[in-house]
Amino acid sequence: MSILDRLRGGRTAHDVDPLLVELQAALTPERVKMDSAQRSLLGKDASMFEGGVSGPICYPTSTDEVVAIAKIAERHGRAIVPRGAGTGLAGGAIPLGAPVVVAMTKMNAILEIDEENGIAWVEPGVINLDLTRHLTPRGFHYAPDPSSQQVCTIGGNVANNSGGPHCLAYGVTNPHIAALEVVTATGEVLLLGGLDAEPDGYDLRGVFVGSEGTLGITTKIAVRLTKNRPGVRTLLLSFATIRDAANTVSAVIAAGIVPAAMEVMDQKITRAVEHYVHAGYPIDAGAVLLAEVDGAEAGVDIDADRIRELGIANNATEVRLAADETERALLWKGRKTAFGAIAQIAPDYYLHDTVVPRSKLADVLDQIYEIADRHDVLVMNVLHAGDGNLHPLLIFDGREDGVMERIQAAGEEIITASLAAGGVLSGEHGIGVEKQPFMDQLFTSDDLDHQNRLRRAFDPTCRANPGKVLPMGHSCADIQQLRSVPTGVWG
Amino acid sequence: MTATLLSTDPVLAAFAEEVGESGPIAIVGGRTRWENGGALVDGTRTIAAPSGIVEYIAEEMIVKVRAGTSVAELHASLAERGQVTALPERGGTVGGAVAVGQNGVLRPMRGETRSAVLQVRYVSAEGKIVTGGGPTVKNVSGFDIPRLMTGSLGTLGCIAEVILRTNPMPAQTRWFASNDADPFAVHRSLLAPGPILFDGSTTTVMVFGHAPAVTEDVMMLRTLGTFTECEPPPDATGHRWSLSPRDLQTLDVAAVGAFVAEIGVGIVHASNPQPPTPLAPDVRVIHDRMKAEFDPPGRLNPGRVVGLR
Amino acid sequence: MDLHLDADDLNACVQCGLCLPHCPTFRVTGDEAMSPRGRIHLMREVQDHDAPLTDEVMESFETCVQCRGCEPACPSGVPYGHLMEQTRETLADAGALTPLWQRLAFKPLASPTLLQTGSSALAIAQRLHLVPKRLGISTELPIRRRPLEASGTDVYFFTGCVMDAWQRDVHRSGIRVVEAAGFGVTPTNELAPCCGALQAHAGLAEDTRSLAKKMMANLEPGRPILVDSAGCGAAMKDYGHLLGTPEALAFSERVFDIQEWLAGHMDRLPVAEPLDLRVAIQDPCHLRHVQRVHDATRTVLRPYVRELVELDDEGLCCGAGGAYSVLQPDLAGQIRDRKVASIERSTPDIVASANPGCSMHLAGAGVPTVHPMELVDRALGRADTAP
């Protein structure tokens, strides 16, 4: 054996696996992968969860191929797990029990723009920001803008009912989806929803959005087009305390203004960001509020002025109105580079996601600081304050001994504090495997039983992304069982 | 505040008791859409849902209200704080509006009914109180039971209480009518128009927002036709057609009869009924399974079938 | 296997995936093994968990264009380019990467005489239609070249290897423009025969180090060194990192892309009638993502052309990638198709690209491409050959 042969492990032979043979025959050999590199890659997503075990990975290019994959997987008793760009933070795309992973990245065409019906038909692999870029010249955009919009796919957005900074006024993904073509785990193609005003029947489209791949795989999506707003005003308000910032947010909503976005950053993250990108953020402020209003050019100043007044009434130390598009972009750059800024401090972070009533934001934030202190964890807060959506960033170096245990303990207490304040487990990341163990803190056993019934109606054989969302004992598939992988599938 | 604690609300517990664990049962609201989904099986026990506003937090833009409350009463309370919900005001109850799931003509301004239901609490076929969704505007914690219940005509559970998202009412709303404007051009030209109603000759349009924005819209309207300010139009009546926005451009007037069309939305209020279009067989299978899962004995609103149109 | 990757650099990636859409190979394949996140994951698997170097792992490493478009997109600041260069160096040292024929092919780059002779032979072969299409040589190569003469000692002008052999007229344009700004120019010619960029990309970093040392020894200290090839400029700006000596750092600091240099001296450039052209700017990756001085191209070109247009692909690579278009012709072609589509959407008269590899690769798809200096030179009316 030559040096080269020894260095190279050689191609792992899997061509005897009948599942693989059938999948390759249905697609093409190049678009079904089973090598150890690919399987190790697709065993992960952007979350911190380890333990994913992928079976064969398929790259379909059509609905028919997805149907074929589902039927072959069914014959072999294997589950199917869809995957978009793999940017999920709750582990929703992590394959459990060596399922067939269905990577939707090659189904990425914008099929039709139908201005008269106010929709566009797209394939699930289309990148969120690519869609908006494509629509912009026609005077439209796609409204939900998750922070990962430059990479996340519309299919992934549908699975997670994704939000984003501008969902305060425009709503999260669900109301922006008119219709879906989906393939169930048994290979049926369903058209859910429709382009008509009030599609008949149960709102199966509505329940499919946000179901994290547990009801089937989306193969075609009619997204609603939103007209671009000619008038935009962006304000940066500085406060001595984060409580003043939170109070301002409540006051704005109480005043009947629904801004396009209201984002709050605490002092630590503000300093980190300013140090990193020099966006002109005040480093001595206790917190900053980035507020944006949009609409007709003629009306936006009224709301912007009112926000300014309410900020001052709530002790704002400075109110800056972006003078032009350049300054506006700079202010948003500060918000959007928060992760880059924290990377300068430590290599790892755990981005948390809970929602609390707006009026409880300040109290819960105090508790979060206290929890982090007690567990000796560095925490910074950047939040979609308008929605009450908290995103505490726990910052650490994973190589430090015992740090993961502290992070996990702090994370659990943050969840408990958020629920105690009348909040919910997740605002936009979803449950996945991350928050599965906490579902019974929010829901009763009967509640969870009914969620499982909804799921079973779509997937009676429990093969669509099993082991997610519902906690053990309520899920129709037991994770322990899933993790016992059939013999012969290991690479 | 845990789910368990909330479920012990004595009013809801009494309602659950009333629903019981067996025997055909239907919840009656304002009977404004009683014929939807077909006739109720004879001998079905009918009861009313509990009523009353439980909690209204204007700063949170949410209201928790029992299903038997009339939409009019709810909206009157919200109006004191300058807010409103997406539910249509047609003389019915909150629970009825959610169970039917239709939208009012003000949908372009107020949003969709099914997006307004943040949390739903219902009594199951087994007589248990079940909660779906949550009290916050943003929430992706688990399966979307509120959307499943909205428009389910009470066939999956007896809706007892909901948390609705409220919206601020705009500073100004003004209605204009024209006999020479192209309603589709109005829809294309305005940035965010309110309802645009067209009956074959007259275009009636609402513009809303801050005064300067409304003025701008009115100036735009004047370039599209001879618009004069008018009173809000009366409630649209008749049979309800659900079409796509584009379908309205080729509306078969002979088929619909006298009509008022919601331009940009696709709803047509017509003197003739819309011919039924059965659900696709595969979708019907999911419906039947859903019904079987949530109501194994088939006791909830028997006779009523969702998706028959 | 120890890839000799810096543990901190490798650990910096948090797998967020924000790099994915900025990676040309992921864009055309949708395959995560062809993405920066995927490649880093595989580096970790190999280095930390002793994963075998399967064909698939090698393919993942070999298909990277090294455009480094992922670096500006990375919020964690992962030094991806260095990780990939180190990976390739370790693998090449172990004999797992860059076979002998490729190593031999890089040899003439460091030898001007050999390269000029070879290129003339190639030019003649090209006229006789003997050059395989796979080589992607789309521009007509010159058979004879007039030598470049020094006009003063204010700045060095780096002439390099392939570009000097194949596109010396671009050098002439650049030199004339710098002279028009009132600077005396010394072409480096045989003082600095090659920057070593292509060798470093292929994992032959030792060759690059020796070329770097030679160049540093031959060029007098203090004088700015102007480079009109984005890939060469990026490599020379990286000598500080490559050699890790104070001398190398100081050397790197006086390396400027020619547009970058001129952008700081616009007041010295003559005013001229703008060319009646709509020009699309195609930023070479090593100008935009590595040197990050691509704004200078706009500053310098703007006064001299009627209209500048931006492409709508956010600086995604064109697939040229030094020798990449020869080594991975299929992927390079698919990546180029995306670029050409973007160019077509911007409806330009001509494309300006400040890197010889890019312009040849694009010309191979029939896209009229010139160096920005050729346009400025033409506007200034000093050109003796039309671009």
Q: Which of C236, C262, C288 is the last residue of a domain?
A: C262
Domain membership flag for residue C384: no
The answer to whether the Cβ–Cβ distance between C38 and A127 falls below 8 Å is no
Does C136 share its domain with C250?
yes
The shortest CB-CB distance from B143 to any of A195, A227, A455 is to A455
pLDDT, tens digit (0-9, with 9 covering 90-100), for C61-81: 999 999 999 999 998 899 999
Does C221 share its domain with C317?
no
Q: Could you count the other beta carbons within 10 Å of the beta carbon of residue C154?
A: 16
Q: Is A29 on the interface with B (CB under 8 A)?
A: no
- Of the residues B4, B33, B138, the best mutation for testing chain A's interface (the one with the most A CB atoms within 10 Å of its CB) is B138
The answer to whether the Cβ–Cβ distance between B59 and A359 falls below 8 Å is yes
In sequence order, what are the beta bridge partners of B45? B25
The answer to whether the Cβ–Cβ distance between A148 and C17 falls below 8 Å is yes
Does C340 share its domain with C255?
no
Min Cα distance B17 → chain A (Å) is 16
Instruction: Transcribe A394-455 into DSSP letters.
Output: EEE-TTSTTHHHHHHHHHHHHHHHHHHTT-BS-SSS--TTTTGGGHHHHS-HHHHHHHHHHH
Q: What confidence score (pLDDT) does residue B235 get?
A: 85
Closest to A256 (Cα-Cα) out of B42, C227, B8, B82:
B82
Does C324 share its domain with C251?
no
C350, pLDDT greater than 60:
yes
In sequence order, what are the beta bridge partners of B122? B130, B159
Q: Could you count the other beta carbons within 10 Å of the beta carbon of residue A174?
A: 23
Does C33 share its domain with C136?
no
- Of the residues A6, A40, A54, the best mutation for testing chain C's interface (the one with the most C CB atoms within 10 Å of its CB) is A40
Residue in C with minimal Cα distance to A84? C30
Q: What confidence score (pLDDT) does residue A48 get?
A: 86
Average pLDDT of chain B is 94
The answer to whether the Cβ–Cβ distance between C54 and A8 falls below 8 Å is yes
Place of tokens 């919009």: A149
Does C254 share its domain with C328?
no
Which two structure tokens, joined as six digits, stand for C370? 């010139």
Q: A9 with A52: CB under 8 angstroms?
A: no
Q: Is A147 on the interface with C (CB under 8 A)?
A: no
Residues spanned by the domain of C28: 7-97
The answer to whether the Cβ–Cβ distance between A148 and C16 falls below 8 Å is yes
Min Cα distance B191 → chain A (Å) is 7
Fold of B3-168: 3.30.465
Task: Give the C-alpha separation, A481 to A464, whole Å.
Answer: 15
Q: What confidence score (pLDDT) does residue C131 get?
A: 63
Q: What is the sign, positive or negative, of the torsion defined by CA atoms of A446, A448, A449, A454?
A: positive
In terms of phi and psi (left: phi > 0; alpha: psi -120 to 50; beta: otherwise), the region of C174 is alpha
Which two structure tokens, joined as six digits, stand for B251? 């509306």
Residue A296 dihedral angles phi and psi, to the nearest 5°: -65, 140
Interface partners of A (3+ CB pairs, < 8 Å)? Answer: B, C
| Cα-based torsion angle of the residue sequence B168, B174, B104, A231 in order, rounded to the nearest 10 degrees | -50
In sequence order, what are the beta bridge partners of A122? A110, A221
Place of tokens 């193969």: A219
Q: What angle (nearest 5°) sits at the alpha carbon of residue A147, between those of residues A182 and A292? A: 115
Task: Give the C-alpha separation, A201 to A220, whole Å.
Answer: 20
Q: What is the sign, positive or negative, of the torsion defined by CA atoms of C267, C272, C277, C282?
A: negative
Which two structure tokens, joined as six digits, stand for B159? 């809706």
Instruction: Transcribe A109-160 into DSSP letters.
Output: -EEEEEGGGTEEEE-TTSBHHHHHHHHGGGTEE-----TTTTT-BHHHHHHH
Residues belonging to chain B: 309
Chain C environment of A133 (Cβ under 8 Å): 312
C101, pLDDT greater than 80:
no
Q: How far is CA B57 from CA A380, B61, B114, C93, in A?
A: 29, 6, 20, 69
Reduce the DSSP state of residue A291 to 3 states and report it: strand
B73, pLDDT greater than 90:
yes
In terms of phi and psi (left: phi > 0; alpha: psi -120 to 50; beta: otherwise), the region of C158 is beta
Domain membership flag for residue C290: yes
- Report the pLDDT averaged over residues C177-184: 96
Task: Give the C-alpha separation, B3 to B120, whole Å.
Answer: 12
Domain membership flag for residue C18: yes
Q: What confidence score (pLDDT) does residue C146 get?
A: 79
- Of the residues B140, B174, B300, B305, the best mutation for testing chain A's interface (the one with the most A CB atoms within 10 Å of its CB) is B140
C106 or A402: which carries more pLDDT confidence? A402
Task: Give the C-alpha separation, C354 to C260, whole Å.
Answer: 11
Interface of C with A (CB under 8 A): 1, 8, 11-12, 14-21, 30-33, 37-38, 41-42, 45, 51-58, 60, 73-77, 94-96, 312
Could you give the ipTM of this predicted complex?
A: 0.96
Task: Give the C-alpha separation, C174 to C176, whole Å.
Answer: 5
Does C243 share its domain with C151?
yes
DSSP letter for C290, please.
Answer: I
The shortest CB-CB distance from C33 to any of A8, A10, A37 is to A37
The shortest CB-CB distance from A443 to any of B3, B144, B264 is to B3
Cβ neighbours of residue B7 closer than 8 Å, sequence gap 6 or more: A444, B13, B121, B129, B131
Name the percent of chain A in helix, strand, coil, to the closest 5: 40, 20, 40
The shortest CB-CB distance from A298 to any of B111, B135, B216 is to B216
Cβ neighbours of residue C181 closer than 8 Å, sequence gap 6 or more: C262, C265, C268, C269
The shortest CB-CB distance from A8 to any of C31, C74, C96 is to C96
Cβ neighbours of residue A211 closer than 8 Å, sequence gap 6 or more: A159, A455, A458, A469, B143, B144
The answer to whether the Cβ–Cβ distance between A204 and B151 falls below 8 Å is no
Task: Give the C-alpha separation, B144 to B140, whole Å.
Answer: 8
B44, pLDDT greater than 50:
yes
The answer to whether the Cβ–Cβ distance between A446 and B247 falls below 8 Å is no
Residue in B with minimal Cα distance to A259? B168
CATH number of the domain residue C67 falls in:
1.10.1060.10
Chain A environment of B137 (Cβ under 8 Å): 387-388
Q: B28 with B47: CB under 8 angstroms?
A: yes
Q: How far is CA A470 from CA A51, A72, B179, C6, in A?
A: 18, 26, 56, 41
- Of the residues C2, C6, C9, C18, the best mutation for testing chain A's interface (the one with the most A CB atoms within 10 Å of its CB) is C18
Interface partners of C (3+ CB pairs, < 8 Å)? Answer: A
The answer to whether the Cβ–Cβ distance between A197 and B1 falls below 8 Å is no
Domain membership flag for residue C386: no
Q: C16 with C75: CB under 8 angstroms?
A: yes
Q: B96 with B33: CB under 8 angstroms?
A: yes
Q: What confidence score (pLDDT) does residue A475 get?
A: 58
Q: Is B111 on the interface with A (CB under 8 A)?
A: yes
Task: Spell out the domains of chain A, with CATH numbers in brackets.
Answer: 3-103 (3.30.43.10), 110-227 (3.30.465.10), 229-344 (3.30.70.2190), 346-436 (3.30.70.2740), 437-452+460-481 (no CATH)
Chain B environment of A92 (Cβ under 8 Å): none
The answer to whether the Cβ–Cβ distance between A148 and C14 falls below 8 Å is no
Min Cα distance B161 → chain A (Å) is 15
Q: What is the pLDDT along chain A (491 residues), one digit of tens a residue?
A: 344 454 444 444 444 789 999 999 999 999 999 999 999 999 999 998 888 999 999 999 999 999 999 999 999 999 999 999 999 999 999 999 999 999 999 999 999 999 999 999 999 999 999 999 999 999 999 999 998 999 999 999 999 999 988 888 899 999 999 999 999 999 999 999 999 999 999 999 999 999 999 999 999 999 999 999 999 999 999 999 999 999 999 999 989 999 999 999 999 999 988 988 888 899 999 999 999 999 989 889 999 999 999 999 999 999 999 999 999 988 988 888 887 888 888 889 999 999 999 989 999 999 999 999 999 999 999 999 999 999 999 999 988 999 999 999 999 999 999 999 999 999 999 999 999 999 999 999 999 999 999 999 999 989 999 999 998 776 554 444 444 443 333 32
The answer to whether the Cβ–Cβ distance between B283 and A190 falls below 8 Å is yes
Q: Which residues of C29-66 are buried (b: 16+ CB within 10 A; e: fewer)?
A: bbbbbbbbbbbbbbbbbbbeeebbbbbbbbebbebbbb
The answer to whether the Cβ–Cβ distance between B307 and A200 falls below 8 Å is yes
Domain membership flag for residue C36: yes
Q: What confidence score (pLDDT) does residue A31 get?
A: 96
Does C255 share its domain with C316?
no
The shortest CB-CB distance from B283 to any of A201, A431, A435 is to A201
Q: Is C291 exposed, middle or buried (0-12, 13-18, 19+ CB in 10 A)?
A: buried
Task: Give the C-alpha separation, B150 to B98, whole Å.
Answer: 5
Rg (CA), chain C: 20
Q: What confidence score (pLDDT) does residue A177 get?
A: 98
Longest dimension (CA), chain C: 62
Does C135 share its domain with C281?
no
Which two structure tokens, joined as six digits, stand for B242? 């659900």
The answer to whether the Cβ–Cβ distance between C17 and A46 falls below 8 Å is yes
In sequence order, what are the beta bridge partners of B242? B267
Q: Is A86 on the interface with C (CB under 8 A)?
A: yes
Does C114 share its domain with C170?
yes
The answer to whether the Cβ–Cβ distance between A175 and B244 falls below 8 Å is no
Please give, one letter per residue, the 3-state secondary structure of B115-176: HHEEEEEEECCCCCEEEEECCCCCCCCCCCHHHHHCCCCCCCCEEEEEEEECEECCCEEEEE
Does C61 share its domain with C186?
no
pLDDT, tens digit (0-9, with 9 covering 90-100), for B191-240: 999 999 999 999 999 999 999 999 999 999 999 999 999 999 998 889 99
Does C92 share its domain with C116?
no
Q: Which of C262, C289, C308 is the last residue of a domain?
A: C262
Chain B environment of A446 (Cβ under 8 Å): 124, 128-130
Number of structural domains, chain C? 3
Q: What confidence score (pLDDT) does residue B1 get?
A: 40
Q: Would you kindly state where each structural domain of chain B is located, as residue ranges?
A: 3-168, 172-270
